[in-house]
Amino acid sequence: MQFLGSVIARSLRRSNPFLRFGLKSGLRSEPHNDRFVLFKVCLLFMLSGTVQASQNQIYTVEHKKIETEPLQYAGSLVPGNIAEISSPANAVVIKKNVNFGDKVKKGELLFELSSLELTTKLNEAKVQFFENTQNLEKLKNWSTASEVLQAQHNMTRAYQEYMHTHKHFEQTKKLYEAGIVSKEEFLNDERYNRESLHHYQHAKQQLDDIKRKGGEQFVSIAQMKVEQSKQQVDMLTEKVASLAIQSPFAGIFLPPMRQKDSKENWGPSEKSTVQADQVLGVVADNEKLYVKIQVDEFDIIHLHQGQHAQINFLAFQGEKIAGKIHDINTMTNPGTQTQQAANFDVKIAVEDLPQKLKDKTLLGMSCSVKLKMEELNGLIVPKQAIVYDKGETYVNVTMADKQIRKKVQLGETTNNFVVISQGVQNGDHIVVPS
């Protein structure tokens, strides 16, 4: 009996270090009393099992109805809209009319910039547009254009010259045939006649080519060039006008949202140089406010747009503000861990915020949101009993002193409980981690 007690004692000391001192003192205090030793060993063994079992709880699955408490989530106040204010071009800040934290109105002038590069491009585009417009008007009245008139004049002179040369050649030819003029004179007049004919034919071809430049195809091309250059002028004119940067809506002017910047680098100062597309600040719409919360996958299936909510601001104790679900993000939150339930972003629109509170409200304030839920009906277990593994859900069921992992299908949920629609039966005992 004493040997058995020693073996059990050594086993207990290995498995539970917290019992070492108790076993040593207990076993050695009565070395000759076998029954007393065995009793202490058994007692300590039972206590060891009790310590280990206290880490988990056993829950009996029952088919019942539960009056669900409202879902409650913590969140923060966010603006209805955010607009980045950026420079339209490489420019110099001429004047800064607003400071970070100021409230601004829609259309209020925030910055006045100057861009030599943009102004030069606009002037060049205007010159190009003017030239293209002049060219189009010329082609539309091509028959009276200077090029056409000059070509017609050249052809007329060439024709007259050819007719004069040809008439003289015909006379020389007759005289040569009569033996009155020499062959050399005849050949010279013949050469002059050919050259004048060639000159006339070339002038006529030039006139035809110039006339074709006023055809429909060339007019269409000129029209497209005018339209393109006008679009360029309009675009650059708009950009130059945008150098006077205005607030797109009423709100609060905030620093650029860049993580690595220090407060000293937040935004530009007067006479400083800014780059194209550089963010100068952010306007946050504080007229329409929302509370952003993260809802887990158990609860998200019960929410819908327009669902009523009650909002409580931590800073305004006792003030209950009405709200409605405005938007439910169907993409899971990137921060969700694979071993945890997925969660989703939900935006609650704040409704009828009293003016006395609105004047004191600041973006980022902490809030709690309550959402009314329907009662649960079915096989209900605590949420802590659900085990997540590679996208599947399980529970650990105890059977004959063994734990068996069973795959389950989840149904409706509350803050603390979830309905299991498949995988367990009424009366099953499942493990709930403490």
Segment 254-298, tens digit of pLDDT: 888 654 555 545 668 888 999 999 999 999 988 889 999 999 888
Determine what percent of the chain is predicted with pLDDT higher than 70: 83
How many CA atoms lie within 13 Å of 33's alpha carbon, on the beta-carbon side?
11
pLDDT for the residue 338: 55
| Average pLDDT, integer, range 40-60 | 56
pLDDT for the residue 41: 44
pLDDT for the residue 377: 86
pLDDT for the residue 33: 46
Measured between alpha carbons, how far is 229 from 223 in angstroms, rounded to an integer? 10
Measured between alpha carbons, how far is 325 from 374 in angstroms, rounded to an integer? 17
Amino acid identity of 292?
Answer: K
**Of the spans 161-170, 286-295, 347-356, 377-386, which averages the highest pLDDT?**
161-170
- Is the pLDDT at 190 greater than 90? The verdict is yes
Measured between alpha carbons, how far is 184 from 165 in angstroms, rounded to an integer? 16
Question: End-to-end alpha-carbon separation of the chain, Å?
Answer: 38
pLDDT for the residue 433: 87
Q: How many CB atoms lie within 10 A of CB 299?
A: 21
Structure tokens, 294: 């993260």
Q: Are 9 and 23 in contact (CB under 8 A)?
A: yes
| pTM reported for the whole predicted model | 0.51
Between 81-95, 219-233, 324-338, 409-423, the lowest mean confidence (pLDDT) is in: 324-338
Q: How confident is the model over 304-315, as pLDDT tens digits?
A: 899 899 999 999
| Average pLDDT, integer, range 210-231 | 92
Measured between alpha carbons, how far is 327 from 83 in angstroms, rounded to an integer? 19
| Average pLDDT, integer, range 78-83 | 89
β pairing state of 409-413 and 402-407: unpaired
Tokens 């002059």 belong to 192
- Is the pLDDT at 30 greater than 50? The verdict is no
Measured between alpha carbons, how far is 168 from 193 in angstroms, rounded to an integer? 9
Sign of CA dihedral 205, 211, 216, 217: positive
Burial of 314 (0-12, 13-18, 19+ CB in 10 A): exposed
> If pLDDT is split at 50, 70 and 90, which confidence band does 101 have?
confident
- Is the pLDDT at 215 greater than 60? The verdict is yes
- Is the pLDDT at 26 greater than 60? The verdict is no
Measured between alpha carbons, how far is 367 from 291 in angstroms, rounded to an integer? 7
